[in-house]
Amino acid sequence: MKNLIWILVCFLGGILMIIGSACGSALFYGYLANIVSSYISSEFMPLVYAILTVLEYISFYGGYFVIVGVILILINQIRLGKIIIMIATSFGMLGLVFYVCMWILGLPSITVSPAVQTILDQIYSLFTYNSGFAFTGTILAVLGRYGIKRPKKVEKQVST
């Protein structure tokens, strides 16, 4: 099984995410819902809220859903497993990217307007950084997810 190493990397990432208490934030999805609500008609908002709620739960229990994704991959539901792992790690990766951006903006030579800084601080407060295990687990799960490949279908040769 060619994917075994990547599956183990994903599984280890899920375990580290659980140990590090890597979890998404309900406030972030509420923030997204407020942004989206002005662009979508009211008749579609229940659907949007339902989708955001599902994404919120998958993201909130990130490490557990990475393990669920690994189990799905092991039972040959590779595409579904990879999608679940992607959703489960998305909040952690977004937090990591935002954390790096805030670090860069914190350099003495870079200044932003107070209004922009206030918005950035509000978004920054939505992310929690409990430990290095959470970041390490997220990165391992993402690497493992991209390392897992679907097996190529072998064409049967018809003998005549």
Q: Per residue in 68-79, pLDDT tens?
A: 999 998 898 888
Kindly report whether the global pTM for this prediction surpasses the value 0.85: no
**Domain presence at residue 94:** yes
Asked whether the predicted pLDDT for residue 155 surpasses 60, the reply is no
92 in a structural domain? yes
Q: Is 99 domain-assigned?
A: yes
Please indicate, yes or no, if residue 157 is contained in any of the structural domains: no
Q: Average pLDDT for residues 15-36, to the nearest whole number? A: 73
Is 156 part of a structural domain of the chain? no
Q: In total, how many domains does the chain have?
A: 1
In a domain, 30, yes or no: yes
Residues in Cβ contact with 128 at an 8 Å cutoff, skipping those fewer than 6 apart: 23, 25, 95
- Tell me whether residue 153 is in a domain: no
Domain that holds residue 114: 4-147
